Amino acid sequence: MKLATLRGHRDGALLVVSRDLRHVVKARGIADTLLDAIEQWAEVAPLLQTLYEELNDGRAAEAFPFDPAACAAPLPRGPQWCDGSAFLNHGRLMERAFNTAPIPEFETVPVMYQGASDDFLGPTDDVPLPDEHDGIDFEGEFGVIVDGVPMGVSATAALAHVRLVVQINDWSLRGFGPREMRTGFGFLQAKPSTSFAPVALTPDELGATWRDGRVHLRLHVEWNGEWFGYPCGSEMNFGFGELIAHAARTRRLSAGTIIGSGTVSNVDRAAGSTCIAERRVIEILDEGQAKTGFMCFGDRVRMIARDEEGGAPFGAIDQRVVPAAIASNGEAQR
């Protein structure tokens, strides 16, 4: 099934979305919000599935047209957001970008940071940032939302806890990255609020493109209307089972935890990139210097995962970068 969140109060209202992304219906009487549904998945999933089938058959009462601009992130806020770096090609290129030593055991132990999960952005939200000189960059990813995961779960068992798959833009401010990496404490200022495509879907909706704990779809990226890349999610060195197990190695994961794949990246350079930093490193390697700058205020980025028939199961992320309004007390406002 496909689910989304209608804007409203801080956690929005749960929507069931038709397979063709044309119509939606509120999940009234089943679950108020997506987090409610994840926390009670065994009880509510069959009811949501029945409503989904009614919607696809044109039998759902009170259905109305799907409008991505009316949607928040599927989870406007979540218990936890853990982002991996499962594409080795991207990781090795970033080591060159930041001039850092190779990460120990990078090919055998997943790399992961814990990001902020209190303020996720919807698919068409403007992205307010304080300074365009901070190295504004997009990062296209896939992710999963899990139910409660026990501590020490195996990678194989972990996949059974995947309830929904999502598409992500993990915004980065590259100017802060090198210093924060050197501290050993991880990212903070380098990682502003993360954005999501409007639709979260159960793995079965992906058919054969969900296998081995990976999303085997190309993620198409355009920057200001120009093609930027379309790498495939199949080249994850670690599947989502391994990433979930890594996050749960020493603690349990709450229902609603989101696990990200890290920047989608392919060895074949003809596939392009899903982030600017990667393209800049390739330019340095191939041409001796970076030629592509980072984003400016007013720039737009569009990300959309497509299947072989051209379908877009998650919908699209289509956003503009804007200057944050800074209040007199120094607090940035959306």
pLDDT 10s digits, 43-63? 999 999 999 999 999 999 999
User: Is the pLDDT reported for residue 278 higher than 50?
Assistant: yes
Record the tokens describing residue 29, joined without a space.
């009487």
Residue 47: inside a domain: yes
What residue numbers bound the domain in which 10 lies? 2-70
Could you tell me which residues come within 8 angstroms of residue 72 by beta carbon, excluding any fewer than 6 positions away?
A: 5, 6, 7, 12, 120, 122
- Give the residue, 128 or 107, on which the prediction is more confident: 128
Mean pLDDT, rounded, for 69-93 = 92
> What's the average model confidence in pLDDT over 245-257?
98
Mean pLDDT (the chain) is: 93
Same domain, 114 and 51: no
Quickly state the pLDDT bin for 66 (edges 50, 70, 90): very high
Q: Check: CB of residue 202 under 8 Å from CB of residue 186.
A: no
* Same domain membership, residue 288 and residue 170: yes
Q: What percent of the chain has pLDDT over 90?
A: 81
Which of 11-25, 167-181, 222-236, 249-263 has the weakest average pLDDT?
167-181
Give the pLDDT score at 327: 43
- The pLDDT confidence band at residue 88, using thresholds 50, 70 and 90, is confident
Q: Is the pLDDT of residue 214 over 50?
A: yes
Is residue 75 assigned to a domain?
Answer: no
At 168-191, the pLDDT tens digits run 999 999 988 778 777 777 788 889
pLDDT category of residue 274 using cuts at 50, 70 and 90: very high
Residue 229 vs residue 282, higher pLDDT: 229
| Residue-level pLDDT at 329 | 46
Any bridge partners for residue 144, and if so which?
165, 259
Cβ–Cβ < 8 Å for 199, 168: no
3-state secondary structure 274-296: CCHHHHHHHHHHHHCCCCCCCEC
CATH number (domain holding residue 161):
3.90.850.10
* Per-residue confidence (pLDDT) for residue 107, from 0 to 100: 81
Task: Categorize the per-residue pLDDT at 285 as very low, low, confident or very high, splitting at 50, 70 and 90.
Answer: confident
Tell which wins on pLDDT, 117 or 179. 117
**How confident is the model over 248-260, as a mean pLDDT?**
98
Last residue of a domain, one of 70, 97, 122: 70
Q: Which 3 state secondary structure label does DSSP give 34?
A: helix
Same domain as 283, residue 151: yes
Which residues neighbour 231 within 8 Å (Cβ) at sequence distance 6 or greater?
218, 219, 264, 265, 266, 271, 272, 273, 274
Are the beta carbons of 167 and 138 closer than 8 angstroms?
A: no
**Alpha-carbon distance 23 to 65, whole Å?**
4
Residue 312: per-residue pLDDT? 97
76 within some domain: no
- Is residue 115 in a domain? yes
Predicted pLDDT of residue 92? 80
What lies within 8 Å, CB to CB, of 85 at 6+ separation is 91, 94, 110, 111, 112, 262, 263
* Chosen domain end from 70, 92, 123: 70
Please indicate, yes or no, if residue 92 is contained in any of the structural domains. Answer: yes
Provide the pLDDT for residue 77.
96
For the CA atoms of the chain, what is the radius of gyration? Answer: 19
Residues 174 and 275 in one domain: yes
> 116 with 65, same domain?
no
Is residue 167 located within the same domain as residue 295? yes
Q: Is residue 118 part of a domain?
A: yes
Q: Is the dihedral of CA 187, 188, 192, 198 positive or negative?
A: positive
Q: Facing residues of 302 across strands?
A: 222, 318
Structural domain total, the chain? 2
In this structure, the answer to whether residues 216 and 96 fall within a common structural domain is yes
What's the CA gap between 105 and 268, in Å, rounded? 23
* For residue 111, pLDDT beyond 70: yes
Lowest mean pLDDT segment, chosen from 121-135, 164-178, 247-261: 164-178
pTM of structure: 0.94
If residue 243 lies in a helix (H) or strand (E), which one and from where to where? Answer: helix 240-247
Alpha-carbon distance of 249 to 253, in angstroms, equals: 10
Say if 103 falls within a structural domain.
yes
Residues 131 and 85 in one domain: yes
Tell me how long the chain is: 334
Let me know: does 276 contact 295? Beta carbons within 8 Å: yes
The band of 334, judged by pLDDT with boundaries at 50, 70 and 90, is: low
Domain shared by 184 and 99, yes or no: yes
* Boundary-marking domain end, from 70, 95, 116: 70
207 with 240, same domain: the answer is: yes
Where is pLDDT greater, at 106 or 312?
A: 312
205 and 60 in one domain? Answer: no
Same domain, 125 and 155: yes
Confidence of residue 97 (pLDDT cuts 50, 70, 90): low
Instruction: Measure CA 321 to chain center.
Output: 17
